[in-house]
Structure 1
C-alpha cells in the first residue's frame, strides 16, 4: 500500500513540473493519451512531443463533415509526407475506436512544410456503410511521425476552431434504408471551447419495416402480400383457361406496373399505331406492383395476356413471369432505359440484391427492344434469354431527339410550366438510386453541398433535381436557396427535361445515353464510386466509358460546372456505339416489325479495317472500352 502511495506521489510531482501550456492559439494542451513508441519507449520527452494544432475550417452538410487544419510536432520538422500520418479517432464511452484517415496537405508553418491536413466524414455511412452507431463519441486528433528511432504517436483534442469564441453545436439527421428496416437517427455535434474538445452523439429516432408499414401516399390503395400472392395464383388459373381461346392477331396489350398514363415508349408506340387501323390496343396500367388490382382487373389482364398477339411491357412485371407465353404470341419488353451501363438482372447473380439463378423473372420474353447491336449480349445476359430474342431496332422514345418541331413544342410548354427557367441556364441533376431495390432505394444527399452550389452558380443558373421515383429520402432544399433549386422529380418524362438542360449531372444512370444525343456537357458526380463499384459492377470500364467529366467531390463538380467541356470525339463514338440508327425512326421500325411478325434479320459482325481499327458493319468506330466483347473478323479485302 505504501509503495503505491509513493508511486502516485511521484506521478503528481512529475505532472506539476510539466511546463504550462503556451497561449499560442495552436499550441497543444495537456495530452492525456499515453505515449506509444513502437521501437523506442523513451524516444522523446513529453515537452518535445507536444502537438501544435488548429482547425482552420469545419463545414457541415447534413451528416457530411469536412475538416481542414494544421498539426505538427514542434520539435521534429519533416518534409516527407510519408513519414507523417494524421487521423481523427472517434472513441465511444466503452473505449471502442473508429479511425478516420486525414490527407496531408502541403502547408508550411514556420519550418513545418507538411503541417496541413484535410478530411471528410460521412457519418451516415461510417458504420460499414450504415449510420454511426448510437452513442456519444469524443473526436480526437492523432499524429504519427516516423523518427530515426521509431514512430512517435500522440493524441490530443482537435484544438481551436478558427475564430470560435464560444461553444458550438450542430444537429442534423441520418437515414438508413434496407428491405426490412428504414431507420432515422439524430446526429449532434458539440465543440467545447475551454477544452478545445469535439464530440458527436448518435441517437436512433425511428426504425420502420417498410414491408409492414408502407403507406399509400400516391393516391392508390396498396394490396397486402397475402392477397397479391392469392391473385397471382388466380391469374395463372384464368390464364390457362383463356389459352383455350384463339389468339386475336390484331390485338396489342400495353401492360405496366410503373405508370398510369400513356407515356415514355408506350406513348410513341401508341401514337404510331393510331395512324393505321391494323391493330386494336388495350391498356393495363398501375402505378406500382403493390397497387391493388380488383378480381375483375386480374381476370381481364389474364384474358389479355392469353389472347393478344403482342403483349408490350416497359419495366419489371412479376405477375407475368411464371406464365408460358403461347407459341403464336410475343411478349415484348421495350424497357425504360437505353444502352448498357451498370449491370442488371442475371448479370448480377451472386451480388447484393441480385436474382437467384433459379428465378423466373424476365426469362419468358420472346422479344426485347434495344438501341444497338453492341448491347445485345448485355441484355440477353441480364434478362436470361438467348441473343436472337434481342432486337436492335432502336428505342421509340429517343425519336424525340430527332424531331425538331416536337422539341419546340415541348420547350414552349416547359417554359410555361417552369417559368423560373426563363433567362437562366439550366443544370439538371438526375442520379440513379442506391440500394438493392425499391424498399432500400436512397440517395446520399449529404454529398451534395447546397450552399456551395448556390454561392457559386445562382447568378446564372437554376438547378433542377430529378430524383429517381424509388428514392425514399427526398431532398430537403434549404428555404434560403429556393430561388435556385427546384425539385421536378414528379415530372414524368425525363427526356422532356433533357431538352431544356444546358448541362446534366448524373452518376451511374442510363440517362447519359439519351443526353449524349444532344451533344451537350455532362458531369458524372460520383463521390461514392468505390463503394458503388463494390456493390454494383459495370458492363464497361467506368473511367473510359463515361462521355463526360468525372467529379468525385464538390470542388471538382463546381469547377466542371463553371467550365463545361465536351470531348466531341468521345461523345460521337459513344453515340455511334450505343445507337445503330440515328434517324428518329425507331418507333416506325417497331411498328413495321409488328406488322410483318418480326421477320428475321441478320445480325451485324464487327470488322477490322485495313488499319486495324475495329468497326461495325456499317463503318462506325468501336471505341477501346467497347471492344472486349467482340470477336472481330478480318478485313474484308483480305478475305479473298
Structure 2
C-alpha cells in the first residue's frame, strides 16, 4: 500500500456515532482537496495494530460533504465478529492510502457513551467495543478497540484442585471422553470413510421436530417428483433435540448422516452445529421455517439473553433463502452472513399454498369441517405466544373481551381462534358464544385457514407473510409492543412494517374492527417488497439454483464480487506504511 496521507488529498472528520442493533454507523464529513477523487471510488477499512484490514466498511452518501460508514460488528464479511484488537479507519483508492479518520473539534463526541458491551453465553461472556481518541497535539485520531472477556471464576478451585476433587475417572472422562469430544472425533472418522461418496448425498435435517415439515418437506417431495431420488441419496434426520434429550444411538446415527452428506438442508437453528464444525467442502443451506415477521432473533438480537455465541450454527451456512432480494438483509442479519448469500428463491412450503387445485379442495373441506363459517365473513385471531420458551409459552386470554367481540360480530362475522402451537392452554370461549366463536388450535396448518379468512388479527407473528398473498385486510393487536421490543426486539420499525392498522388495546382493536379501519393500502406495499416471485415454483428454484448449481448469472456475479472484495481485503498490507509513518513522526519530534 502506498501511504499518501501527508499529501492531504482529502480530510475525513468523524462527527457522530450511532447504533442500530448490531450496526454501528459513523457519520463523517469528507473535504476533497483533490477534485479528481470520486467518493464512489473510496474504500474504507478497519485496520488493526499490525496493519491487517479486518473489515470493509460500507460507504453511503447523505448530503453535500456528509457520508455514513456502516459496520456490522457480528459479521466483518467473513462470517465472524470483528476480531479483538485496536483499529483505525483508513480511506483508500486502489492501493493508495489517502486519509485516516479523525474526530472533529467542532463536534465533540462522548466516546464512553457511544461504546457498547454485548453479553452472550447467558451473560458469562462479553464482547466490548470501546471508542476513544489517541493522544495527539494537533489531531484527534479516532480508535476503535475490540475486547472479548469471560466471567471471572473467582472462588472456584484451580484446575489442578478441581481435577483432584472430581477424581481420576471423572477427570479422564471430562478431558478425553466427553460426549462432544467423542462425537467430534466420530464425525472425523465417519467423514474419512465417506468423503468420496458424499457429493451425491443430501441430508434434510431438523433438530426442532420429530418429522420434517414446511420447506424441508416441500423440497424433498419435489425432488422425488422430479425423479432425483434415483440420482441422489436423500437422507432424513428429524429429532426434537433442541428441547428433549436424545439417546446415544440417536446421536451416533445423526453424526453418521452428517459425515455422509455433502449438502445439508436445515429449517431452523440446529444446536448440534454450534459445537460440531463440518468439513469445509460440505454445503449447509438454511431453509428458514418462517417468512419475514418483526421479531429479532439470532445475531439481530446479539447482546440479549439467549443470543448466539460468536461461533454458532449460523456461521456454517453456505446459503439461506428469502422471499425477495429486498428482505434478504433481514435474514443475513439474523444469521451473521453476507446479504448476497441469502437467495430470493421464495418459500418452498408456499408452492402447495399457491396451487389452485389444492386451495379449492382445502376450502371445501374447511367449510365442511367448520360449518358455522358457511355464508359468513371469517375473522382469524392468530397471535404469537408470550413467554421465554416452549415450556413457558402462553397467551393472556384475559385481555380478550369475548362479549364485546361477539356483539360486534353481529350476523356478519364468525371468529376462529388459532393460537401458536406452543400455547397448550385452550381458548376459554364461553359456551354461550360458541355459535360464532370456535377454537381451531387442533387444525394442523394455519396456512389452509387463510383461504376462508376475510380478516386476520395478529401481533408480531410471521404468519402475515403467507396471509398477505390473499390480499385481504389485517389488524395488529400490539398491547405489549414496548415490553416486547425490550425482551425480543424488532429488526425493523414495527408501525412502519405492519401491513395493517396497529392497535394498542382491545378497545382500539374493536373500534378498528367495527369501523373497518384496516389501513389496507399497506398490504399491497408489503407484497411488493416481500415477494420477487408469486408462483408455485420455489422448490424448483431451490433445487435448480442450489442442488444443481444453476444459479442466475446476476446473483452469481454479486456473490463473486463480494468474494473478490474479501480476498483483496485479506491481501492488503498496511503495516509498512504505518511503520514508516510512525518513524517519520518520531523523527519530527527529535
TM bracket, shorter-chain basis: 0.5 to 0.7
Deviation at 1:501, TM superposition (A): 1.2
For 1:530 and 1:420, the matched residues in 2 are separated by 37
1:310-389 to 2 correspondence within 5 Å? 310-351=263-304, 353-358=305-310, 360-389=312-341
Q: Aligned-pair distance for 1:605?
A: 12
Q: Report deviation, 1:368.
A: 0.9
After superposition, the C-alpha distances for 1:485-515 in whole angstroms (9 at most, x for unaligned) are: 3222233322112222111011011111111
Asked whether the 8 Å contact 1:368–1:389 carries over to 2, the reply is yes
Q: Which residue of 2 aligns with 1:273?
A: 223
Matched, 1:422 2:370: no
Check whether the contact 2:293–2:461 (CA below 8 A) recurs between aligned residues: no
- 2:355 corresponds to 1:403: yes
2:298, 2:308 within 8 Å by CA — same for their partners in 1?
no
Question: Which residue of 315, 318, 343 corresponds with 1:391?
Answer: 343
Counterpart for residue 512 of structure 2: 560
Aligned residues: 379
Deviation string 1:571-590 (CA, Å, 9 cap, x unpaired) is 22211111112233211101
Aligned positions of 1:31-42 closer than 5 A: none
DSSP 3-state at the match of 1:249: helix
| Stretches of structure 2 lacking an aligned partner (at least 5 in a row) | 1-121, 123-173, 559-590
Q: CA deviation at 1:231?
A: 5.5
- Find the residue that maps to 2:284 and give its secondary structure: strand
Answer 1 or 2: which has greater helix percent: 2
Q: Which structure would you say has the larger Rg?
A: 1
* Contact in 2 for aligned 1:428/1:501 (Cα 8 Å): yes
Q: 1:281 to 1:415 in 2, by over 3 A?
A: farther
TM-score by length of 2: 0.59
Comparing 509-518 and 533-542, the one that deviates more: 533-542
CA separation of 1:586 and 1:452: change in aligned 2, threshold 3 A: same
CA distance in 2, matches of 1:415, 1:292: 41
SS of residue matched to 2:529: helix
1:139-198 CA-to-partner distances (Å, cap 9, x unmatched) read: xxxxxxxxxxxxxxxxxxxxxxxxxxxxxxxxxxxxxxxx9xxxxxxxxxxxxxxxxxxx
Structure with the bigger RCO (C-alpha within 8 Å, sep 6+) is 2
Change (3 A) 1:336 1:356: closer
Question: Could you tell me which residue of structure 2 aligns to residue 237 of structure 1?
Answer: 185
Aligned residue number for residue 489 of structure 2:
537
Q: What's 1:610 paired with?
A: none
Query: 2:524 is paired with a residue of what secondary structure?
Result: helix
Distance 2:457 2:393 in 1: 19
Partner residue of 2:253? 300
Alignment partner of 1:243: what SS?
helix
- State the shift of 1:600 in Å: 6.6
Q: Separation in 2 of the partners of 1:233 and 1:419?
A: 57
- Residue of structure 2 aligned with 1:490, choices 420, 436, 442: 442
Deviates more, 1:405-414 or 1:516-525: 405-414
CA contact (8 A) 2:346 2:533 kept: yes
Q: CA deviation at 1:337?
A: 0.7
Deviation string 1:534-558 (CA, Å, 9 cap, x unpaired) is 3333222222221111222222222
CA distance in 2: counterparts of 1:329 and 1:586, whole angstroms? 23
Structure 1 segments unaligned to the other structure (5+ residues): 1-178, 180-225, 607-640
CA distance in 1, matches of 2:319, 2:293: 17
Aligned equivalent of 2:213: 263
List aligned pairs for 1:170-189, cutoff 5 A.
Answer: none
Paired residue secondary structure (2:314): coil
Aligned to 1:469: 421
Partner of 2:198: 248
Question: Hey, what does 1:107 align to over in structure 2?
Answer: none
Report deviation, 1:234: 4.6
Displacement of 1:408 in angstroms is: 0.8
**Distance in structure 2 (CA, Å) of the matches to 1:557 and 1:604:** 46
Distance 2:309 2:214 in 1: 31
Quick check: 2:344–2:532 contact (8 Å CA) kept in 1? Answer: yes
Q: CA deviation at 1:355?
A: 1.1
- Please identify runs of 4+ aligned residues in structure 1 that moved more than 6 A: none
The separation in 2 between residues aligned to 1:414 and 1:458, in whole angstroms, is 22
1:373 touches 1:603 (CA, 8 Å); kept in 2? no
Distance change in 2, residues 1:604/1:423 (3 Å): farther
Query: How big is the alpha-carbon RMSD for the aligned residues of Structure 1 and Structure 2?
Result: 2.9
Cross-structure match for 1:286: 239
